[in-house]
Amino acid sequence: MGRPTTVASPGKRVLPAVVAITLLLPLLFAGTALAADLSLSSKTYGLYYERELAGGQKDRYAPLYEYLSADAANLGGKPLSFHFYGWGRVDLGENSGSGSTSGEVGSIYLEYLHPEGNAQGKLGRFFLTEGAAMEIIDGAFVKATTPVGLGVSLYGGVPVEYSILDNTSGGDSLFGGRVFFVRPGFVEIGASYLKEDGTFQGKNREMYGGDLWLRVAPSVELTGQATYNRSVSEMASQRYAVRIVPGSTVDISAGYESYTYKGLFQPALNPAFVSPSVNPGDKVEVIFAIVDWAFVPGWTLEVAGKNIRHDKADPGDANRGEVGLRYSYNDKKDTAGLSAAFVSADLEENEYQEYRGFATYSPGKTRLTLDALTQQYKKEINGKKDQFQVVATAGYQLLAALQLSGNLTYTQSPSFQEDWAGLVRVTYDFAMSTGGKK
Amino acid sequence: MMRRSHAVKILGAALLALMFGCSAVSKTPSVPPKHPEDLPQGRVDCLECHKDVSAGALKPYANFRHSAVFINSHGTYARQGQNLCSSCYKSEFC
């Protein structure tokens, strides 16, 4: 489960150093600068939406977004690469966020991938999942596996965390690692540790983690993961599942997962994840089962159910069952589907039925999609017992690297009397090689 | 400040270990940094081309077929290694 973030980074204080180091390091590899596989991706979104609130107030917004990523792989013919990803927003109308502009460097790092044993290293700003860690850091990460299957990973740096709470900031430093044993196709088991220095509800964060993947039979596997938050003396999260994959058409899984708000959200910096929005004493337990069955080529049936239990009475317990049918066609370029979900709950306001239908159509360079979703509530919310949303999309491939597309969305919901949204999207994907592959 | 210094020392040791330890790593091929072919839109089915155990990820390719089961549980696999994910997806979108 990811950490909630917004835009105002304490990590910005180290970002200039990270950018400088990351950009300058390739110069150490003399002769590599001219040999690389380069790719650039730009997605420009012009969004317009107006919302009529329940009180009759009508708001209009026109933010312009740019999402930019650049990669240079095989630097000098070596397994070394450079990655960048960032985004920015400019409001052409009313402010759609805090201020009229915002943006973020999501990642900028050098990566070394050894051709064998998954040995690797990263340096810069990057997203990391490794055992107990699911973090964005300005720092370094290394990992290697020995010939006997024992391996180790280590990471450390300054966490990139954002806060919109007063007098609250992210951590000062973060480090950790994972030791593991892997036998290909049979087992992987790991133990991990993470420590973050900061003042999260008055304490540092210290986590212990364990993870397991075990193939007990050719088509049966067990998975498990657990993290314990030592700082608050709570199990933060657990997930255990059995999965049966008896061929290429059937996939079945069932299991149990749980998390405690106190353990999992200890470092949360967003009001939605701290008291009083959530009760820190609550514990959530889920029993789930999922079946995915491609019963005829092109046709897939999905059935899922889960029971959700809260320790605290206010959120209440609930059961959700859903069934869906998907059909892929046009040489798998297109998909159509129908699904229905039913939720029963302790509290009437949590009970609803949900129906969805969607289809795509891609003749030649054109792509058209239609997606409709409706929910019927058992109890009125703001005087309404249902909501629906329809999204229509049309796109055209102007050039091999250039695509133009647009969405039109209409919503009626308890929150908005009427909500129209339009989106124009320009996507540019460019790739070239200057001799990086050898 | 002491704590940050502590973290820097650990990272330095780790980098040295990586530099001198490459000769001691497993000979199992790593996952390629980028999938050699562009994948089609929609849900990916690794089994259309791959059989047996994935290089690098060291688990059966059947595990990574983008079924509803995998989509629901992919975080479990990612916590044991991101390389296979990264060959097709940018991690910023996790």
Closest by Cβ to A211, choosing from B43, B70, B79 = B79
Q: What is the CA radius of gyration of chain B?
A: 17
One-character DSSP codes across A97-156:
BSBSEEEEEEEEEEEEE-SBTT-EEEEEEEEEEETTEEEEEEEEEEEEE-TTSEEEEEEE
- What is the C-alpha to C-alpha distance for residues A218 and A209, in angstroms, rounded to an integer? 27
Cβ–Cβ under 8 Å, residues A411 and A422:
no
Q: Phi and psi of A96, rounded to 5°?
A: -95, -5
Q: What is the CA radius of gyration of chain A?
A: 24
**What does the pLDDT read at residue B37?**
84
**What does the pLDDT read at residue A6?**
37
Closest by Cβ to A333, choosing from B8, B41, B43 = B41
One-character DSSP codes across A219-266:
TEEEEEEEEEETTTTEEEEEEEEEEE--SSSEEEEEEEEEEEHHHHST
Size of interface A-B (CB pairs under 8 A): 191
**What does the pLDDT read at residue B54?**
82
Closest Cα in chain B, distance from residue A206 (Å): 14
Is the CB of A140 less than 8 angstroms away from the CB of B15? yes
Residue written as token pair 């009313």: A94
- What is the C-alpha to C-alpha distance for residues A187 and A221, in angstroms, rounded to an integer? 9
With 0.90 as the threshold, say if the pTM is over it.
Answer: no
Is the CB of B30 less than 8 angstroms away from the CB of A156? no
Cβ–Cβ under 8 Å, residues A176 and A195:
yes
State the CB neighbour count (10 A cutoff) for residue A339. 17
B94 chain-A contacts, CB cut-off 8 A: 2, 127, 129
- What is the C-alpha to C-alpha distance for residues A130 and A152, in angstroms, rounded to an integer? 11
**What does the pLDDT read at residue A1?**
38
The complex's ipTM works out to 0.83
Is the CB of B27 less than 8 angstroms away from the CB of A107? no
Tell me if the bond preceding A276 is cis, omega within 30° of 0.
yes
| β-strand partners of A253 | A243, A290
Closest by Cβ to B58, choosing from A134, A185, A302 = A185
pLDDT tens track for A356-401: 999 999 999 999 999 999 999 999 988 889 999 999 999 999 999 9
Is the CB of A332 less than 8 angstroms away from the CB of B52? no
**What does the pLDDT read at residue B20?**
53
Report which of A215, A211, A241, A209 is spatially closest to residue A225, judged by C-alpha positions: A211
Residue B26 — pLDDT band, cuts 50, 70, 90? confident
- What is the C-alpha to C-alpha distance for residues A351 and A319, in angstroms, rounded to an integer? 9
**What does the pLDDT read at residue A34?**
62
Cβ–Cβ under 8 Å, residues A414 and A383:
yes
A154 chain-B contacts, CB cut-off 8 A: 10-11, 14
Is the CB of B28 less than 8 angstroms away from the CB of A145? yes
Contacts 24+ apart (CB under 8 A), A316-323: A316/A345, A316/A346, A316/A347, A316/A350, A317/A345, A317/A346, A318/A343, A318/A344, A318/A345, A318/A346, A318/A350, A318/A351, A319/A343, A319/A344, A319/A345, A322/A354
Is the CB of A142 less than 8 angstroms away from the CB of B14? yes
Query: What is chain B's percent helix, strand, coil content, to nearest 5?
Result: 50, 5, 45
A330 chain-B contacts, CB cut-off 8 A: none
Give me the torsion for CA of A413, A415, A418, A424, rounded to 10°. Answer: -90
Report which of A78, A89, A79, A174 is spatially closest to residue A126, judged by C-alpha positions: A174
Is the CB of A129 less than 8 angstroms away from the CB of B90? no
B17 chain-A contacts, CB cut-off 8 A: 142, 144
Residue ranges in chain A modelled with pLDDT below 70: 1-34, 53-54, 164-168, 435-438
- What is the C-alpha to C-alpha distance for residues A85 and A63, in angstroms, rounded to an integer? 20
Is the CB of B24 less than 8 angstroms away from the CB of A121? no
What length does chain A have?
438
- What is the C-alpha to C-alpha distance for residues A151 and A119, in angstroms, rounded to an integer? 9
Is the CB of A252 less than 8 angstroms away from the CB of B14? no
- What is the C-alpha to C-alpha distance for residues A137 and A125, in angstroms, rounded to an integer? 6
| β-strand partners of B40 | none
B34 chain-A contacts, CB cut-off 8 A: 73
**What does the pLDDT read at residue B47?**
85
**What does the pLDDT read at residue B12?**
64
Is the CB of B72 less than 8 angstroms away from the CB of A253? yes
Q: Phi and psi of A413, rounded to 5°?
A: -155, 170
Is the CB of A292 less than 8 angstroms away from the CB of B67? yes
B90 chain-A contacts, CB cut-off 8 A: 69, 85
| β-strand partners of A61 | A49, A94
B70 chain-A contacts, CB cut-off 8 A: 251
CA A44 to chain centre: 20
How does B59-72 read in b/e, with b if 16+ C-beta sit within 10 Å? bbbbbbbebbbbeb
Cβ–Cβ under 8 Å, residues A103 and A89:
yes
Closest Cα in chain A, distance from residue B91 (Å): 6
- Please give the residue that has the higher pLDDT: either B92 or B49: B49
B89 chain-A contacts, CB cut-off 8 A: none
Q: Phi and psi of A372, rounded to 5°?
A: -130, 135
- What is the C-alpha to C-alpha distance for residues A139 and A7, in angstroms, rounded to an integer? 20
Residue A96, CA distances (Å) to A64, A105, A426 in order = 10, 20, 21
**What does the pLDDT read at residue A16?**
62
One-character DSSP codes across A163-177:
--STT----SEEEEE
Cβ–Cβ under 8 Å, residues A85 and A107:
yes
Please list, in sequence order, all residues whose beta carbon lies within 8 angstroms of the beta carbon of residue A30, skipping any fewer than 6 positions away: none
Q: Which of A57-61, A400-404, B32-36, B45-49 has the highest mean pLDDT?
A: A400-404
